[in-house]
A = this chain, B = another copy of it.
């Protein structure tokens, strides 16, 4: 029979790949929990209708959707978590203690052309804080994101959190002379600015009714970055006497959480034309290679859109594919993240071999990670090499007696069977 392949854009996780994948998922969960978020999850597929609420018909072509034979409902494998989260919050909004601090680490599928940083199946960390509309809530969510980046070994020179605020950008565009009715067009232009040549950008900016001088100012505003803690500089660039209040309050909180060195203001960050209402942010590798590592912001009207009560909300998503690419580029994907055995058990004689199952099961029942040799050889030298090869801390050698060898120090001693578990946890 010819071998069948995995679907395009999906991954098979063999043990070494899975060890890293599990390491990443565990880090997402550990950081979420210590930041006070509670884990949730939803179904792997939802009604197609659910995904149209936020994204309209346009989303359908990006989904893996299906209908049961004889059924009347279209379903789709989840492409993101936000609609599920909004449905779950809307359904139990009054019963949930506030603020709602939820995280999830689900897999998603999108019918996109597979390319670097973008696969058809991927995992994404979702962190959401609902019920608070304060800059402190925005900053706590951004802190949680930074806490993860630091947990995986990155520092503020390697990644940047690019922060913007939709109301501030709107205010800036109006100040620059973009007429109210051309604001949506200006947002579209901001969102796609990196895909345009400078000439094309200037031309399209001119179409917004800006003269050459104002196009230049517009370009400067959306290309320039301002350090957190230096908002007066941004104010001067914009010809304002005071920094925009929304950014000033957020900046104060980013400093209070101790993460202003990771952050910069970048008014070119728009996060598509999605449902964001205030603060928006993206995490990028510092030199600008790769896609965004994470992205999020405030979405104060979404829970209502899904039939729930008015509830302010802020959150972000971080995918596993780009994150792993960036970490690998920085040498931060170690190859020793697989679980390490406490003991590797083998028999030095055929007579002793019958005792292997009892010894191994005794160790495992004591909670110890115990492997054993399945070979028929009784060559102790070769078997010790196998023990070292699998990374075990101790070798347990069954012969006329039971010997325990510490594979780091080389120390070896005979132990009583009933003291074995203790001897390999020393």
Contact = CB atoms under 8 A, between A and B. Distances in A.
What number of copies of this chain does the assembly contain? 2
A42 B34 CA distance: 30
A250 interface: no
Given A150-B365, A358-B256, A4 B306 contact: yes
A61 B69 contact: yes
A18 B41 contact: yes
A184 interface: no
Given A47-B7, A253-B357, A374-B99, A42 B64 contact: no
A4 B41 contact: no
Contacts of A259: 361
Contacts of A46: 4, 6-7
B38 A18 contact: yes
B139 A357 contact: yes
A34 B344 CA distance: 11
Interface in A208-261: 253, 256-259
A87 B6 contact: yes
A82 B98 CA distance: 43
B338 A38 contact: yes
B15 A38 contact: yes
A172 B338 CA distance: 46
Contacts of A19: 38-39
Nearest to A100: B15
A14 B40 contact: yes
Contacts of A84: 12
B12 A43 contact: yes
A36 B257 contact: no
Interface of A: 1-7, 10-15, 18-19, 21-22, 33-36, 38-47, 49-50, 53, 61, 64-66, 68-69, 73, 75, 77, 84, 87-88, 90-92, 98-99, 102, 107, 109, 111, 121, 132, 136, 139-140, 143, 147, 150, 253, 256-259, 305-308, 338-339, 341, 354, 356-358, 361-362, 364-365, 367-372, 374
Contacts of A14: 40, 88, 92
B34 A4 contact: no
Contact of A4 (B35, B136, B307, B372): B307
A49 B369 contact: no
B36 A341 contact: yes
A22 B374 CA distance: 33
3 closest residue pairs by CB, A with B: A10-B43, A66-B66, A15-B38
Nearest to A88: B12
A367 B365 CA distance: 29
A33 to B, nearest CB: 5
A75 B64 contact: yes
Given A12-B88, A15-B39, A369 B3 contact: no
Contacts of A61: 69
Contact of A136 (B6, B35, B258, B357): B357
A67 B378 CA distance: 55
Given A10-B43, A11-B42, A12-B88, 11 more contacts: A6-B42, A7-B75, A12-B41, A13-B39, A13-B41, A22-B39, A33-B339, A34-B364, A34-B368, A45-B109, A68-B111
A4 B75 CA distance: 12
A166 to B, nearest CB: 23
Given A64-B75, A357-B136, A357-B139, A369 B33 contact: yes
Nearest to A89: B14
Contacts of A68: 64, 111
A65 B64 contact: no
A162 B102 CA distance: 42
Contacts of A253: 357
Given A6-B87, A50-B4, A357 B150 contact: no
Contacts of A36: 341, 369-372
B87 A64 contact: no
Given A34-B370, A66-B64, A364-B34, A43 B11 contact: yes
